[in-house]
Amino acid sequence: MNKKNKAKIKNNKELLCNYVQKVSENVRIEDGSQVIEKILINVYFREGISTKELAKNNLLPTPVVAAIKREFIKLGLLVQDRGVRLTIKGRCFIENDLGFKGVNKELYIRLISEPWKEHEEIIELKEELNEIFINRPQADVTIDQSKCTVDTSIKRALLALKNSVLIGKKILCVGDDDLVSIAIGFLLKKLFSNIQYSRTIILVMDIDQRVLSYIEALSEKENLPIKCEHIDFRKPISNKFRGIFDCFFTDPPYTLQGMNLFISRGVEALKRENGIPIFLSYANKSPDFEFDMQKCFLNMGLTVSEVFTTFNSYESAGIIGSTGQMIILKTTSRTKSSINSSYEGMIYTGEFKITVRYYKCKECNKIIEVGNSKKVKTIEELKEKGCSNCNGKIFKIIEKVKN
């Protein structure tokens, strides 16, 4: 991260403390300072909005919103004049410090109002991303990678917008073989006439260098605000990444241990505030498994805000039935990582269920063993390398053995 970006973050934090945090301290609501910030943004997009409507939009009692409004009036950011309106000072704060300068207001309102509608801009976005997704690195099933569709990645990006953690925010991707960071970057390019106006910062952490290299090359080519870090989540994240992010996305390994580890590392990186969203993509599991999942959430002081059972679609992902759920978690005053030190245990499905598959080469009939414990780990790897005897590329499975 360059010095210019660091200076921007520092200045932004100072102003947020002077305005949003000061109101939060005076009104003392438990929902978190991002709700107070959202009230300002509501006024920005709907000048003259009533206090009652602001309360409804933010799921707060009207007297609480009235108290927040009074505090902003004292600070010179709002006025009461045929509804609630911004002052010049308030508008400058939202545009220059919260990052809304240059945003396409009409598109923003349409996407917020109807995020799942096939807007013209979203159709264009899918067309732009289609080739990028086709050419991404092949899924490595040994680390539980499953490629989500272009539509799913865009829907995840829209969740950030819908939950007010897109514009001017710091977004973390805890693993990103699904290229959510790229979808977010391209969405920002639709929302801003000039991407240089965007104050959003996206960081991708992943163990797969192929994925990181692909994202870095695209980010440079498309001028996207994405940085990458090669990280093994078995180790705690660096102090420089702790307590600074406004949300994170993760599609972790499909084991309880893997899920718990990935969420724990993401939690380490989040700001210490109530109500910060975590976007967890996960396979639909049995009631007993989901009961254990929810115990993990409670242990980390997280609450389940929303569940979309068929939100995610995947390409050729038989292990999870080609669909998965999106679980939106929220932080509380009790939120903490459940794994603070290095983790030495197993986290991937293949480590728990050791499976060896036997394939026959259709050219020479050679039998080849494929599995985590074998020289060739996956059928994809076998097809890429070819038969060691004749270099054939077509294989037929003849047996599967589970240990």
Which mean pLDDT values do the consecutive 10-residue runs of the chain (403 residues) have? 44 57 84 89 96 94 95 95 95 93 96 94 96 91 86 97 96 97 98 93 96 97 97 94 97 94 97 96 93 96 96 73 90 94 85 76 88 74 86 82 60
Contacts of 381 (CB under 8 A, 6+ apart): 370
Assess if CATH 3.40.50.150 describes domain 105-331.
yes
* pLDDT at 395 (0 to 100): 86
Give start and end residues of each alpha helix (H) in 198-255.
209-222
* pLDDT at 403 (0 to 100): 56
* Residue range(s) occupied by CATH 1.10.10.10 in the chain: 3-97
Enter the CATH code of domain 3-97: 1.10.10.10
Radius of gyration (Cα) for the chain, nearest Å?
A: 23
| C-alpha pair distances (Å), 376 with each of 135, 214, 360, 379, 397 | 23, 24, 14, 8, 14
* Residue range(s) occupied by CATH 3.40.50.150 in the chain: 105-331
DSSP state of 195: G
DSSP state of 169: -
Could you give phi then psi for residue 377, rounded to 5 degrees? -85, -40
What residues form DSSP beta bridges with 325? 282
Contacts of 301 (CB under 8 A, 6+ apart): 331, 332, 333, 334, 335, 336
- What letter represents residue 153's amino acid? S
* pLDDT at 24 (0 to 100): 84
Instruction: Note the pTM of the prediction, 2 decimals.
Output: 0.85
